[in-house]
Amino acid sequence: MQTGGVTFKPSVSRWKLEPDGAAIHTHSSDLLPVRYAGKAAMLKLARSEEERRGNQLMVWWNGRGAAQVYKHVGAALLMERLEVRPSLTELVRGGQDDGATRLLCEAAAKLPRSQPWPKLPTLRRWFQGLEEAAPGGGGILATALETARALLDSPQQVGVLHGDIHHANLLHSPERGWLFIDPKGLVGERSFDYANILCNPDLDTATTPGRLARQARIISGTANLEYTRLLRWALAYAGLSAAWHLAGGEDKLARQTLDVARIAAAELGK
């Protein structure tokens, strides 16, 4: 079976799958809804090393806090298919931003993080993009890099990180509750994993006056994190995200993301 130039046939044949919907294509992977042994499942073919690493982390989690993996060979992952509704993004737009943040924190608490870890890159390596962009950008990018360096030099509660916790990566199972998909797979400080919540579900929401401080306090209380340190990670992460956008030629998104960094810096008195 071939869809959009991508062939799912080897995996469909290997695992005796029955296609059960239209294929989904992203910048880094291709997905096909299928039936496997009578169960709704999702076949994912990774097209990048980052996605392959995420697949391996999903296998390591073994359904603990994340979608259950049924099969895994190379770039192909067959996993539990989760529901797209209820949607955390829709909860936010319906006035339940606080509740969505709490759900993200409660679900993140279920992800295994302790040793022995799978082979994963460090959070310091993840910040190379900011290291490269900040010298030419100055201003808030330089502040973000300075903050990131200080945090990376004094890590706390180091463990396995999802690396991309946000509203669209937490889906629902009627039987098992809220579960994560699409990890990046890193090792670093636990607080970092919560910073991206403050940049989501979209940048218009993230930059609403008073929103970042309010959600940071909810995260701090729900996840038992130091409020100020969480804000510092939010500043560092927003700088990193802006650096990625700049590298990709997405100048508007970079400017909006830097606004999140400025809000965090203002809360910190920087």
As annotated, the active-site residues are: 164
Distance CA 172, CA 11 (A): 25
Residue 242: beta bridge partners? Answer: none
Distance CA 240, CA 22 (A): 34
Residue 68: count of CB within 10 angstroms of its CB: 18
List the structure tokens of 149. 């360096």
Q: Assess whether the previous peptide bond of 116 is cis (omega < 30° from 0).
A: yes
Under a CB-based contact definition with an 8 Å cutoff, are residues 37 and 48 in contact?
no
- In degrees, rounded to 5, the angle at the alpha carbon of residue 57 between the alpha carbons of residues 226 and 261 is 35
